[in-house]
Amino acid sequence: MTKTGMLIVTNPNRFVRCIPRIQREIKNTLYIQFLTKWQYSCLKNSSLNSTKLSGPLFSKTVLSLYRNSINMSNIDVRVLLSSIRNSNISTINTKKRVEVVYFDDVLNADEMQGFLKKCVTNRSSDCQTVSLGYQEDGSVEEKIESSGEVYDNVVLGGTFDRLHPGHKILLSEAVLRCSKKLTVGVTNTEMLKTKKLWELIESCATRMNNVRDFLEDVEPTLEYNIVAIGDMFGPTKDDPTFQLLVVSSETVRGGDKVNEVRKDKGLKPLIVHSVDLLLNPNLEDELEEDKISSSTDRIRLLGRLLRRPEAREDIPKWPYIIGMIGGTASGKSSVCKRLEALGAAHINCDLIGHNIYKKGTKVYDLVVRSFGTDILDDQQEISRKVLADIVFKDKEARVKLNKIMWPAILEKSKEVAMEYVKLGKKVVIMDAAVLLEAGWKKHCHEIWACIIPPEEAIIRLRERSGLTEEQAKSRIASQPSNSIQVENANLVFCTLWKPEYTQKQVERAWKELNERLELNPFK
């Protein structure tokens, strides 16, 4: 497959017909260059005249191109805007090197190569050209679709997590209505903690970089100011130079509040331009929103690889060890049981820890020597309750116990894993709440995590263990946060919803793991 392609569109209605072939051949990025019939003729014949176009006139064309690209979820589609805003542009510039150019028109090889050499500046030396037009296609007259003013200073804001077509339309609408400077406020992490699966949201720096990269790629001639914001107003409450605020149809009320604040400060109100939401045509589950949204995208990430595992040359290839992490009441044990039912071996490190210091073992002697005989019960076994009371109150005691227990648990877990290999098991789930703290990550091929909102974990913990709310909060707070779990994980589950959706995540993860490891086909 080719990484980067470009489609020259002269009739937007033809785009849908081009999609199947493009999806088969393009892996990463598709640039779309829309040209009016007049522009196209001028560029082909090198007779371009200086004519200023009004970007808003073609906003519906841009919207339709992105709307029709929704199903191309594996491709980063970018509609180039420079020639839409100003026809006095004789070249097409892109950040990424173009390897193939498709035309929706009927052209011969010489015509396509001539266009390529004259217009596409950043292309590979062996860039291919493909005509996707049909003789029966008639020409289409350009229609004035909508009207709108263009402003020197335009502003908009949002989360912009994993840019999707809805984000691209919103940003493109702002570009088409801007003549000089576009300011984009990107919400910081503190503003996001009420969002669904907020721990999976990209970092603020990443989102800001992605917004800048997109804008500078589709229209490099504007000035961009990308800023982090810590409230819903951002710079709109103070900057007197702003003229137009671009919002989505669901945040129009936010635009009204911005103008209320500006009025109180004696600033001129902003003109508010609303952009309709894109509907989600491919709902996969009732949990998903009926609009194209980052929340839905994050739900779809569950049970899928977030980041590829690093190559581990320092541990044996088999068994393939997956470290399973997650806080109390996160549903980690349930997920492990589901994976076990699908064919994985399961090592419960907590259970190993409970049994490893029984009387007569080396660990038993080390623990008694370190903590004294007061920790023994009537049968001369170590009392878990007495020992827990000691280490919970004394950090130094906890560190001392961990130095004894963790190496022993790890060693025993490896022994058990090798026994599973002899039984024909290739994938072993190492279920260990202390995995990160104990430094066992390096002993695993990859890490999977179970997360649950803290408020839900508190409810589950109280129902299960009879703890008070304060006790439950204290226990949750003593563990690594969901954010830390996600930062260290290659794949994430969330058991917040019905059991059937947990099963769906687990089956998805197991299927993709089998494909990655080239094991037996998933059944």
Span 402-413, pLDDT tens digits: 999 999 999 999
Give the pLDDT confidence score for residue 284 in this predicted structure.
85
Give the pLDDT confidence score for residue 44 in this predicted structure.
60
Structural contact between residues 182 and 155, judged by C-beta atoms closer than 8 angstroms: yes
Low-confidence spans in the chain with pLDDT less than 70: 38, 41-54, 134-147, 520-523
Pairing of strands 446-451, 178-187: unpaired
Can you tell me which residue has the tokens 């002899």? 422
419-422 contacts at long range (C-beta below 8 A, 24 or more positions apart): 420/319, 420/345, 420/347, 421/318, 421/319
Residue 142 CA, chain-centre distance (Å), reads: 37
Q: Please provide the average confidence, as pLDDT, over all residues in the chain.
A: 92
CA gap 450, 434 in Å, rounded: 13
Q: How far is CA 210 from CA 165, 184, 500, in A?
A: 14, 12, 35
Give the pLDDT confidence score for residue 331 in this predicted structure.
96
Give the pLDDT confidence score for residue 131 in this predicted structure.
95
CA gap 438, 368 in Å, rounded: 22
Q: pLDDT, tens digit, for every residue of 127-149? A: 999 999 866 555 444 454 555 78
Residues 202, 206, 211, 217, CA torsion sign: negative
Structural contact between residues 258 and 155, judged by C-beta atoms closer than 8 angstroms: no
Q: pLDDT, tens digit, for every residue of 340-395? A: 999 999 999 999 998 999 999 999 999 999 999 999 999 999 998 899 889 878 88
Give the pLDDT confidence score for residue 146 in this predicted structure.
52
Give the pLDDT confidence score for residue 388 in this predicted structure.
84
Give the pLDDT confidence score for residue 522 in this predicted structure.
41
271 secondary structure, DSSP code: E
Give the pLDDT confidence score for residue 141 in this predicted structure.
47
Q: What are phi and psi of 66, to 5 degrees?
A: -70, -40
Residues 307, 308, 313, 316, CA torsion sign: positive
Helix extents (H) in 272-361? 294-301, 332-342, 349-355
Copy the structure tokens of residue 31.
């640039």
Q: What angle do CA 86, 78, 18 make, to 5 degrees?
A: 105
Q: What is the three-class DSSP state of 155?
A: strand
- pTM here is 0.90
Phi-psi region at 303: left, alpha or beta (left = phi > 0; alpha = psi -120 to 50): left
